[in-house]
Amino acid sequence: MILNRIASRDNGYLKLARSLAQKKYRQQHGAFLIEGIRLAEEALDADVGIRFALTTGAAAAGGRSGRAVAACLERGVSCFETEEALLAQISDTQHSQGLLMVADCPLPLSQADQVPAGGCLLVLDRLADPGNVGSVIRSAYAAGIGAVLLNAGCADIYNPKTVRSAMGALFKLPVLSMADEQILALLRRQERRIAVAAAEGTDLFAGPPLRAPLAWVLGSEAAGASEFWRRQADVLLGLPMREGAESLNVAAAAAVIIYESRRQGAV
């Protein structure tokens, strides 16, 4: 295949792609970065709106990356070949796979249209680490959680580390950023029981049964759930810990909580 070539780091496409490492430019342009072969395939399968793709000659020559580029071209997406050194200036990974896409952030939609009324939801309360946010979204999608709601203190869902850690789940699961009051109003309308994860809470495995419709609130590792959500809780539940053990990473704790909820039929 013959691609248009970009040789200057001052090219507008490269400048736009570089700028998307920062949240303010992601918001300004309504776009975010998708990096790597696996995520490119997931984005294409989920019909994410791709503005343009950047690749190296080696990556475009064949294999999975070449097929992804060909799929973009078939959809009328502009694809550009550039030097590895120029692509590396945009890449958020240590070893770039030679394929990067600039995609549209989904337009804001009505929360009621996006969030299913049954099953189980996750509310992320001030999770500032983008890798953890992405990992929780990945586990949520795998287990069948209906949607993930993030408040203003959370990492940006379009941060490159969040996108990468979510491993394509971000393209398939409703993930919405909302104010605490909006989230609470939605949960009340759906008549959800609110379970807050808390170290001092009742043992998750010995506590009251988990039943849908349910919403789990997961707080930051540093401070746990905020006082706002503790006041709204119908129940505080925690994971039993060996004496002297440090609390689990929130992504690991979330996976345990989500799958125990699934085992009990709340998902």
Give me the CATH number covering residue 65: 3.30.1330.30
What domain range is 59 assigned to?
4-104
* Cβ burial, residue 74 (10 Å; 0-12/13-18/19+): exposed
Residues 172 and 243 placed together within one structural domain of the fold: yes
Residues 47 and 153 placed together within one structural domain of the fold: no
Which of 78, 104, 130 is the endpoint of a domain? 104
Rounded CA separation 7/5 (Å): 6
Which of 77, 104, 131 is the endpoint of a domain? 104
Pairing state between β 120-125 and 78-82: unpaired
Residues 75 and 197 placed together within one structural domain of the fold: no
In this predicted structure, the answer to whether residue 53 has a pLDDT above a threshold of 80 is yes
Residues 117 and 97 placed together within one structural domain of the fold: no
Residues 81 and 171 placed together within one structural domain of the fold: no
Strand, coil or helix: what is 114? Answer: helix
**Average pLDDT value for the chain:** 92
Residues 116 and 84 placed together within one structural domain of the fold: no
State the pLDDT at residue 196: 98
In this predicted structure, the answer to whether residue 109 has a pLDDT above a threshold of 50 is no
Residues 84 and 28 placed together within one structural domain of the fold: yes
User: Around Cβ 39, how many Cβ atoms within 10 Å?
Assistant: 25
* CATH number, domain with residue 127: 3.40.1280.10
DSSP labels, 147-204: EEEE-TTSPPTTSHHHHHHHTTGGGTS-EEE--HHHHHHHHHHTT-EEEEEEEEEEET
Q: How confident is the model at residue 168 (pLDDT cuts 50, 70, 90)?
A: very high
Residues 145 and 215 placed together within one structural domain of the fold: yes
Residues 100 and 115 placed together within one structural domain of the fold: no
- Count of domains observed in the chain: 2
What mean pLDDT is predicted for residues 99-118?
77
Residues 253 and 122 placed together within one structural domain of the fold: yes
In this predicted structure, the answer to whether residue 189 has a pLDDT above a threshold of 90 is yes
State the pLDDT at residue 110: 46
Residues 47 and 76 placed together within one structural domain of the fold: yes
Which of 104, 139, 155 is the endpoint of a domain? 104
